[in-house]
Structure formats: C-alpha cells, structure tokens
Structure 1
C-alpha cells in the first residue's frame, strides 16, 4: 500500500513540476514579446526625435512646400500616439502614413539641389534611413516572438496553463504591401 502512495505522490510531483516548467516557459515567451516591442519602441522614439530636425532643415530651403512637411509632422504625431498607447494595429497604419510622407518629402527634395547637398540634411537622411532599416529588422524579431507566443498558448498542454493564467495572444506588427515596397528611403536619391 505504501508503494502505491509513493508512486501517486511521485506522479503528482512530476505533473506539478511539468506544469511549473510550462508556466515558466510561457512567462519567458511573454517577456520576449515585451522586450521585442521595447526594442521597436526605442527605435521609433529615436526616429520621432530626428524628424523635427529634418523638417526644420527642409523648411530652410523649401519655403513653399509646407503641405509635404505638414504631412510628415501629422504622420509623426499619429505614430507617437499609437506607440505610446501600445496599439500595434494603429501603429502599422500610422507607420504607413509616415513612410508615404517621408517618401514624398524625399522626392520633393530632388527639386532643391542646395538642400540635397546640405551636410546636415544628408546626415539626417542617413540617420532616418538607418533607423528605418533597424525598425524593419526589429519588426521581424517582434513578429517572430509574437508568433511563438501565439502558437505556444494554443498548443496542448500549454493551452491549459495559458488559459488558467490568462495568457493572451498578441497582434503582429504589419504594414501595408505598398509600405513594404517603400522601406529603403535611400532609393529615392538615385
């Protein structure tokens, strides 16, 4: 009779240990998603801080192109609002608007050789292009972390622990197809 009790206790201990292992893995995955989002957030903030410098530099040369500059400023505000709220869906849409605005801005720059030749403008353009590329890389990392999270909380037996402790799926950070084609701002300076 004692051996049956020991076997039952060992089975319970193994089940509890396995449940703890699953829970800890889900927590690790959840925090990987948060870290990936934080990495994107840092880059978005850096770009957010660089855009006013770019707009001011452009204003010095582009007195009558105010509509293009306003479009970039408005899109920057939309990105900041979505970023601060952590609204991944709204961020994708706002990013699309910002990239279109930047694309328009850099296309208009072609009509201003003095601006295009400005060392300050070239530095800002290179900095923003670098940030754009980094954001694209981090977005890929974030989406992979989200995919892992979403798959694990649906797989058996993880789904039991995930439902019990209310682990939630996360949204992918997606941009429109047109936006994906316009990732390299540097191409506009042919």
Structure 2
C-alpha cells in the first residue's frame, strides 16, 4: 500500500510539474505576442496622429492661397476634431465597440480629406505653390505609413488570437487575463494608400 501511494504521489507530482511548465511557457509566449500587438497599435496611432498634425497646415495653406469652399474646410476640421478626441489605448484592444468608434472616426476624416484634395484640383495656382507641394508629399508618405501600420497591426493581432485559441494555451489564456484582440476592419480598398496627387506629373 505504501509503495502504491508513493507511485500515485510521484505521478501527481509529474503531472503538476508538466502543467506548471506548460502554463509558464504559454504565459511567456502570450506576453511576447501581446507586446507585439501593443507595439503595432502604437505605431498605427502614431501614423494617424501624424496625419492629423498635417491637416491644420493644409487647411491654412488652402485658406491663404485661394477663395476655397468653406464647407469643405469645415468638414475636414470637424472630422479631425472628432478623430483626435477618440482615444484607444492598448487595454481597449479587446473592446470591439470602442475600436469601431475609432475606425469610423478615422474613416470619416479620410473621406473629408479626400474631398478637400479633390476640390483642390480646381485651383491651379494653389497646386503650384511650394508649400502645397510639400504638404502633398508629406501627406502621401503619411498615408503609406498608415497603410503599412494597419497591416502590421492586423498581422500581430492574427498571430496573437491564433495563439490564444490554440491548445493548450486556450486552457490557460482566459485564466491569465489574455482575451482575443480586435483587428482593424477597414473599409474596402483601405489596404491601399489613397491617391493624393494634386495634379502633378501624370
């Protein structure tokens, strides 16, 4: 009986040791992929903020160089104000509703900015100014950064969510506070940077 009890105890110790090793490994791996998601989100936010920072200069340049359509300028200014008012930190990435609000605000800003750029084509003198040309180049670069950062974020989220739902990590993930993250569900065509050509070389 004593021998059988010792064997049972040894088996239990081995099982607990195995579970401990697996849970520790799963935790460390989840921490790593979670940090990758946070870094990717930070980069995406920085890209959107850079676009928002360019808009006041763009609006000022347009106002100073032409009798521009006030409604279009107001639309861009209001959309920028709304987009920058919605803050999403790393702790909100498992909240689909909050992330959707952020996405919708950024999409609305992009559309308003697109309308401003389209109307700008009706003002050749404005397009010919050096400052406007410089803003064009900066904006185009920023839109490219947004596209890349959005793609990187979604890739990081996909890797993280796959890990969270995979066995045996799925057994421990919820208990350790690791919930699935929300991907950035952009509109059709948002995986490509928009055309911001103001009528230059064609």
1:163 aligned to 174, 184, 201, which one? 174
Give the TM-score normalised by structure 1.
0.88
CA contact 1:89–1:171 (8 Å) conserved in 2: no
Contact 2:44 2:146 in 1 (8 A): yes
- Structure 1 residue corresponding to 2:63, chosen from 41, 59, 65: 59
CA contact (8 A) 1:99 1:182 kept: no
- Structure 1 Cα separation of the partners of residues 196 and 117 of structure 2: 9
- Return the structure number with greater helix share: 1
Question: Match for residue 32 of structure 2?
Answer: 28
Q: Is structure 2 residue 143 aligned with structure 1 residue 132?
A: yes
Q: Which residue number in structure 2 is paired with residue 183 of structure 1?
A: 193
Instruction: Return the alpha-carbon distance in structure 2 between the equivalents of residues 13 and 181 of structure 1.
Output: 46
- CA deviation vs aligned residue, 1:15-55 (integer Å, no higher than 9, x gap): 21121000111111111111110001111122211110111
Cα contact 2:88–2:102 (8 A) shared by 1 = no
Provide the residue aligned with 1:114 in structure 2.
125
Distance in 2 (alpha carbons) for counterparts of 1:61 and 1:11: 75
Contact 2:43 2:149 in 1 (8 A): yes
Structure 1 residue 132: Cα displacement:
0.7
1:91 to 102, 113, 129: 102
TM-score by length of 2: 0.83
> Of 18, 23, 38, which aligns to 1:14?
18
What is the CA distance between 1:91 and its match in structure 2?
A: 2.1
Q: Which stretches in structure 2 are left out of the alignment for 5+ residues?
A: 90-97
User: 2:94 matched to which residue of 1?
Assistant: none
Distance in 1, Cα, partners of 2:72 & 2:191: 20
Alignment root-mean-square deviation, CA: 2.1
Measure the CA separation in 2 of the matches of 1:55 and 1:49.
11
Q: Distance in 1 between matches of 2:191 and 2:75?
A: 20
SS in structure 1 opposite 2:174?
Answer: helix
Question: Does the 8 Å contact 2:76/2:109 carry over to 1?
Answer: yes
Shift >3 Å, 4+ stretches: 1-11, 187-190
For residues 145-164 of structure 1, give each alpha carbon's deviation from its aligned partner in whole angstroms, at most 9, with x where no partner exists. Answer: 11122222122211111111
Q: Which 10-residue stretch deviates more, 62-71 or 10-19?
A: 10-19
Secondary structure of residue in 1 paired with 2:153: helix
